Amino acid sequence: MGFPVSFTLGGVSLFFGVITFGLDFFNLLPMRIWGTMTNYVLIAVPLFVYMGVMLEKSGIAERLLETMALLFGRLRGGLAISVVVVGALLAASTGIVGATVVTMGLLSLPTMLKRGYSKQLATGTISASGTLGQIIPPSIVLVLLGSILNVSIGDMFISAVVPGIILIGLYMLWIVIVALFKPESAPAMPKEELEKFKDQDMLKTVFVAFVIPFLLVLAVLGSIFAGIASPTEAAAIGAFGATLLTIAQKRFSLGTLKSVMQETTHLTSMVFIILVGASAFGLVFRGMDGDRYLAELIMNAQLGPYMFLALVMLAVFIAGFFIDFIEIIFIIVPVVAPIFHQMGVDMLWVGILLAMNLQTSFLTPPFGFSLFYLKGVAPPEVTTGDLYRGIIPFITIQAIVLIAIILFPELVTWLPKLLSN
């Protein structure tokens, strides 16, 4: 009916809480919310959001796209491949889907259409690349999932690296296949533009555009992987580093800082007010023995771990058509997590599967937020139908990777084991 999810969750929970517990419910709820708000790990959320918004304002994304496009320009489909590479780098440095999709949509889409790219390939590549921030660390999704599943955030970040690289590789492979079989859909860039780029100070341009943001990503993820900093401390390093980069790019001002802080506050408040509503929902659900009833129902149905996992994955995938990933994390995951625990399933593996599945919620019509963001900045000739058709191959690729992780859990568990030895 269009009523905000956070207040729906909180309001319905208050109503049933009073019916179930009486007025004592108002003694229980503040303690539950206070426990959530004092969770040290969740401080990483506003810090990573700040880092992402600050990098967006610094103009680094713009320079990255221009440089990568020229580096890959001689290849058929090179411009689309550069969008995937930049999407991956922005994912590792910002993790904010909306900012990434809008930035790449504004900078790349008009250029790709002007170069003769098919609308479907151009829009599909930008939409899918923009959502890589959901799986490539440091990702807010992984932070939230780790805190709910009671799994180390550092381990979540490490486990997501291999699936993320596979996904990027398959995106690129698809673009190469399209360029081979439909060369008119993905042409190379004109030689004159490439020559002009080479005549300029090419090495310096590549260094400024590529190496500097890469060093920031390395500082954040490297400090976590090496065990020097916790994810929360690494988020602080990232936020400080992004500010320094913006100053170095001469894009920093009090106006920029105010804008970044306002956007960070807005996004963080949205996440946490949903979390408050979800905490109330979880308290009442458990108080009414909902989790025990659900567990008994599944055990009596004699569902094995894989069958239950398939049901959860299907439920999350369908929910992704209609509601945001944050709401799915806070509504569905706390309900199913105890059952996975009872079944003895590896929670790290489940966490990465859920993150991969939630990534598709940004791409699936009718409420794929990535598609909305891109449509908002796309030229008038790009229709909603073009966006929907363009995204189908990339959703298929994500489904393939998801199935591969289910069949081969080592894709998730191999790197954490290697680094822990």
Per-residue pLDDT of 200-256, as tens digits, reads: 666 777 777 777 777 887 888 788 777 788 878 888 888 898 898 888 878 889 998
Per-residue pLDDT averaged across 94-101, rounded? 66
**CA distances, 31 to each of 27, 34, 279 (Å):** 7, 5, 10
For residue 14, give the H/E element and its range.
helix 5-21
Cβ within 8 Å of residue 252, ≥6 positions away: 243, 246
Reduce the DSSP state of residue 28 to 3 states and report it.
helix
In this prediction, residues 314-342 reach a mean pLDDT of 81
Rounded Cα distance, 253 and 350, in Å? 43
Interval 298-315 mean pLDDT: 82
In a domain, 10, yes or no: no
Burial class (CB in 10 A: 0-12, 13-18, 19+), 280: buried
Considering the domain boundaries, does residue 377 fall inside one? yes
Mean pLDDT of 15-33: 83
pLDDT of residue 169: 94
Burial class of 266 by CB neighbour count within 10 A (0 to 12, 13 to 18, 19+): exposed
For 147-151, 166-170, 291-295, 360-364, which range has the lowest pLDDT when averaged over its residues? 291-295
Which is more confidently placed, 300 or 125?
125
Residues 312 and 351 sit within 8 Å (Cβ to Cβ):
no
How many CB atoms neighbour CB 360 within 10 A?
A: 23
Q: Mean pLDDT over all residues of the chain?
A: 82
Whether residue 22 is contained in a domain is answered as no
The owner of tokens 């291999």 is 162
The C-alpha atoms of residue 221 and residue 243 are separated, in whole angstroms, by 17
Q: How confident is the model at residue 143 (pLDDT cuts 50, 70, 90)?
A: confident
Q: Which residue has the higher pLDDT, 115 or 173?
A: 173
Lowest mean pLDDT, pick from 25-29, 152-156, 310-314, 338-342: 25-29
Query: Would you say residue 353 has pLDDT above 90?
Result: yes
More confident residue, 156 or 93: 156
The tally of domains found in the chain comes to 1
- Kindly provide the b/e burial profile for residues 55-91, where b requires at least 16 CB atoms within 10 angstroms of the residue's own CB: bbbbebbbbbbbbbbbbbbebbbbbbbbbbbbbbbbb
Name the token pair of 276: 């408050």
Q: What is the pTM of this model?
A: 0.77
Residue 239, domain member (yes or no): yes
Cis peptide bond N-terminal to 30, omega within 30:
no
Q: Checking phi first, is residue 152 left (phi over 0); if not, alpha (psi -120 to 50) or beta?
A: beta
**What is the pLDDT, as a whole number, of residue 198?**
62
Determine the 3-state secondary structure of 324 from DSSP: coil
Residue 220 or residue 173, greater confidence = 173
Q: Say if 261 falls within a structural domain.
A: no
pLDDT at 374: 83
pLDDT at position 112: 82
Whether residue 55 has pLDDT greater than 90 = no
For residue 19, pLDDT beyond 90: no
Decide if 27 is inside a domain: no
- pLDDT band of residue 366 (cuts 50, 70, 90) is low
277/81 Cα distance (integer angstroms): 41
Residue 12 pLDDT class (50, 70, 90 cuts): confident
Percent of the chain with pLDDT over 70: 91
* Region of residue 2 (left: phi > 0; alpha: psi -120 to 50; beta: else): left
Contacts of 346 (CB under 8 A, 6+ apart): 409, 413
Determine the pLDDT at residue 385.
86
Q: Which domain does 146 fall in, by range?
A: 39-252+289-420
In a domain, 157, yes or no: yes
Confidence of residue 99 (pLDDT cuts 50, 70, 90): low
- 209 occurs within a structural domain: yes
Tell whether the model's pLDDT for residue 111 goes beyond 80: no
Mean pLDDT of 19-47: 80
Question: Per-residue confidence at 144, pLDDT binned at 50, 70, 90?
Answer: confident
